[in-house]
Structure 1
Amino acid sequence: LESPEGLTLDHLGRTIFWTDSQLDRIEVAKLDGSQRRVLFDTGLVNPRAIIADPMRGNLYWTDWNREAPKIEASHMDGTNRRILVKDDLGLPNGLTFDSYSSLLCWADAGTKRVECMNPNQLGRRKVLEGIQYPFSITSYGKNLFYTDWRRDAVVAVDRTISKENDEFQPQKRSRLYGITTAFAQCPQGHNYCSVNNGGCTHLCLATPGGRSCRCPDNTIGVDCIERN
């Protein structure tokens, strides 16, 4: 590892995904760090935020490459990689996906906006404009919560009316980095990896219609079988 920045879980298949902005990679491993595998090591310059949608088997991430910032998507096994957004982006730092509304939202410190879109539809909606320096964002219900480096605060936004409705500043003012939502109970649902590891010997990575069995890097042998 050099500079791991984004982190997300498939809580159903019990895998962890992360971005490394120094190695320009996206990797995956089991929750205990074993069976590590590089998903992507090309076409990345400054990958930062990453978020999984375990029930649908999709992965989303941002790249704040100053020459060509973008938001990309793929299946969780690394197939079907595609660019979702590439126009009118600056520094897309934060990313969150709300599985109930199917909205993918991001915070951009370059355009100073929070925007949302449905990844399966055309078009995007500006939720907030003129914010200061957002870094990370998460969602809960109708609210988005983002951290801001200039305000040294966590800011709550009602995305349905495009309005900030609360702010929290720690007693000790400091730069706030990542933020995530912890549910009182593990969110319900299942994917093709949530039962018996999908029948895979090693890594089970979900896709929208199934799963792929993958071997960890440098350990392909008789004890590991790759298949879709």
Structure 2
Amino acid sequence: MAKLKVFLRHVYIILSVFTTLRLCQEDDYHKCEPLRASICESMPYNHTLLPNKFNDNSQDDAVIAISQYSPLMKIDCSPSLLSFLCILYLPICNVLMVPLPPCRKLCEEVRSGCESIMNDFDYTWPEAFNCTNFPTSGLCVGENRTSSQGSTSVWDLSNPQFTTPKQMTSRPMEMTTILAKREETTETDIPVFILVSSLHKLMLYDVSTGDLITLHSGLDQGAAVDYHFGRQWIYWASHGDSRVYRGSLALDVLTDVHLVVDAVSSTIESIAVDWITQHLFWMETYPSQIRVASLEGTNPTTLLDKELSNPKSIVLDPIEGYLFWIDWVGTLYSPSASIERYDIARSHHDVIFNITKDILPNMGRSIGLAIDHPNKRLYWVDAKAESVQSVGYDGASFRVIVKSRFQNGIQNHNFLTEPRSVTVFGKNAFWSDRATQSIVKTRKDGHSSKVKLHKPSQVSSP
């Protein structure tokens, strides 16, 4: 365990340049912070999420609670006791921004070793540790693997996370970054990186500095991109191509690049990685269909075909088991689009929201769907309407997050001239604008009209 901790610490130190471990929003209740409690230093993670399920808001309070069980730790009634307590009181920071419980198996292992000793001293097993309250499958902490029943490794969820917008731009971006003033910045001091596909390159973009690191060259007109949380695998498919490739991210270098899917006669429009059930989904056009296979591309299966018109921008919520995408319908002169959902477990497809001119005047072709996992919302952009929109998973509470506004016939900013994609991270939404070769940031809740322009400053090879 100590060796694992040293290894993971090294990975976090290196990869902290690429992403933020403080995944919370400024106005969210839970927040991530560096783990400084020495009692849990043997745990293979170094950021914790507070408050915990006992409403402890500080690590000091959590340590006091853990210390109550020091007599049991001294006699070593269970080798898993400390891990169990740390997971409960100092839960691991994760991309979902919710405290993940220990798996029931871990709880029962601790209880079987410690309960009888507690009873000998007239103590009963705490109700808060009732093992039947902890899940046997799904998202829980206790095993370093994803089991056949679906229990997800805490270490997979704890690895640094990337936001992964699709087809960020179709032209190289080599401009300087306009940074916000320090008093206007509410981000953490650990920068966020975004995966970017340009005309011929796959890159990492540092939001705080504007630097670009080239990971892979040789794309054809940009690519659809997604990322496997935990294994640090990047998947991409060049636009107009029939193939999906995968590479392993090691520090700032992409290694082991190889082909995983070849759709032969079809064109791959978009891809999505399920980092819980370990599947790869992709959307083909000509003919239109959604397919799924293993992460290695084996055993491909068609999920949908005849119900699709002109689908774009597939995204996935692996926790809820939903696929979402935009389907273009209508005509060039009378466009409309729909946000569609596929329930993987029930094999059920439905339309959750229709985008029409009644909903969004001057709407054109919506594109660039993105997911806000913690708040169960979807975001997309529309170049003709020059706006960023959002709706809930159920199709309710539609909002226009930001749009270009005109005063006296003059546009007050041109950052939505030709948006191509959007992603959300923390409290912010980011979108790319192909015309200005920029990435723009604003609050994802739409409560602020301020936008901040990011223009990547340099391209460097790894």
TM-score by length of 1: 0.68
For the pair 1:152 / 2:337, whether they are aligned, the reply is yes
Q: Name stretches of at least 5 consecutive residues in structure 1 with no aligned partner.
A: 6-11, 186-215, 220-225
Q: Distance in 1 between matches of 2:460 and 2:340?
A: 44
Q: Distance in 1 between matches of 2:226 and 2:326?
A: 17
Which one of the candidate residues 357, 366, 376 is aligned to 1:176? 366
Q: Distance in 2 between matches of 1:122 and 1:72?
A: 13
Residues 184-214 of structure 1: per-residue CA shift (max 9 Å, x gap): 27xxxxxxxxxxxxxxxxxxxxxxxxxxxxx
The change in CA–CA distance for 1:160 and 1:37 in structure 2 (over 3 A counts) is same
Which one of the candidate residues 280, 288, 297 is aligned to 1:112? 288
Contact persistence 2:201–2:217 (CA under 8 A): yes
Residue 212 of structure 1 corresponds to which residue in structure 2? none
The change in CA–CA distance for 1:169 and 1:69 in structure 2 (over 3 A counts) is same
Which one of the candidate residues 211, 231, 235 is aligned to 1:35? 211
Q: Distance in 2 between matches of 1:75 and 1:69?
A: 21
The Cα shift of 1:137 comes to 0.8
Alignment of 1:47-66 (within 5 A): 47-65=222-240
SS of the equivalent of 1:36 reads: strand
Alignment of 1:9-158 (within 5 A): 14-20=192-198, 23-42=199-218, 44-65=219-240, 68-76=241-249, 77-120=253-296, 122-130=298-306, 131-140=308-317, 141-150=320-329, 152-158=337-343
The Cα shift of 1:38 comes to 1.3
SS of the equivalent of 1:79 reads: strand
Contact persistence 2:191–2:208 (CA under 8 A): no
Q: Distance in 2 between matches of 1:167 and 1:174?
A: 19
Residues 113-141 of structure 1: per-residue CA shift (max 9 Å, x gap): 00111213621111101211111011122
Contact persistence 2:292–2:300 (CA under 8 A): yes
Contact persistence 2:271–2:281 (CA under 8 A): yes
Contact persistence 1:64–1:90 (CA under 8 A): no
For the pair 1:164 / 2:164, whether they are aligned, the reply is no
Q: Distance in 2 between matches of 1:158 and 1:144?
A: 7
The change in CA–CA distance for 1:4 and 1:181 in structure 2 (over 3 A counts) is farther
The change in CA–CA distance for 1:16 and 1:2 in structure 2 (over 3 A counts) is closer
- The residue type equivalent to 1:176 in the other structure is S
The change in CA–CA distance for 1:138 and 1:4 in structure 2 (over 3 A counts) is farther
- The residue type equivalent to 1:71 in the other structure is V
Contact persistence 2:261–2:297 (CA under 8 A): no
Q: Distance in 1 between matches of 2:209 and 2:344?
A: 35
- The residue type equivalent to 1:167 in the other structure is I
Contact persistence 1:128–1:162 (CA under 8 A): no
SS of the equivalent of 2:211 reads: coil
Q: Distance in 2 between matches of 1:118 and 1:13?
A: 32
Q: Distance in 2 between matches of 1:2 and 1:63?
A: 12
Q: How many residues align?
A: 179
Q: Name stretches of at least 5 consecutive residues in structure 2 with no aligned partner.
A: 1-167, 173-189, 330-335, 376-457
The Cα shift of 1:111 comes to 2.4
- The residue type equivalent to 1:125 in the other structure is T
- The residue type equivalent to 2:197 in the other structure is T
The change in CA–CA distance for 1:99 and 1:54 in structure 2 (over 3 A counts) is closer
Aligned-CA RMSD value = 2.8
The Cα shift of 1:13 comes to 8.4
The Cα shift of 1:175 comes to 1.5
The change in CA–CA distance for 1:89 and 1:60 in structure 2 (over 3 A counts) is farther
The Cα shift of 1:59 comes to 0.1
The Cα shift of 1:142 comes to 1.7
Q: Percent identity?
A: 15
**Runs of 4+ in structure 1 over 6 Å off:** none
More strand by share: 1
SS of the equivalent of 1:81 reads: strand
More helix by share: 2
Q: Distance in 2 between matches of 1:33 and 1:177?
A: 27
Contact persistence 1:93–1:106 (CA under 8 A): yes
SS of the equivalent of 1:174 reads: coil
Q: Distance in 2 between matches of 1:218 and 1:33?
A: 13
Q: Distance in 2 between matches of 1:161 and 1:2?
A: 35
Contact persistence 2:322–2:341 (CA under 8 A): yes
Q: Distance in 2 between matches of 1:137 and 1:2?
A: 17
Q: Distance in 1 between matches of 2:309 and 2:300?
A: 21
The change in CA–CA distance for 1:87 and 1:109 in structure 2 (over 3 A counts) is closer
SS of the equivalent of 2:254 reads: coil
SS of the equivalent of 1:56 reads: coil
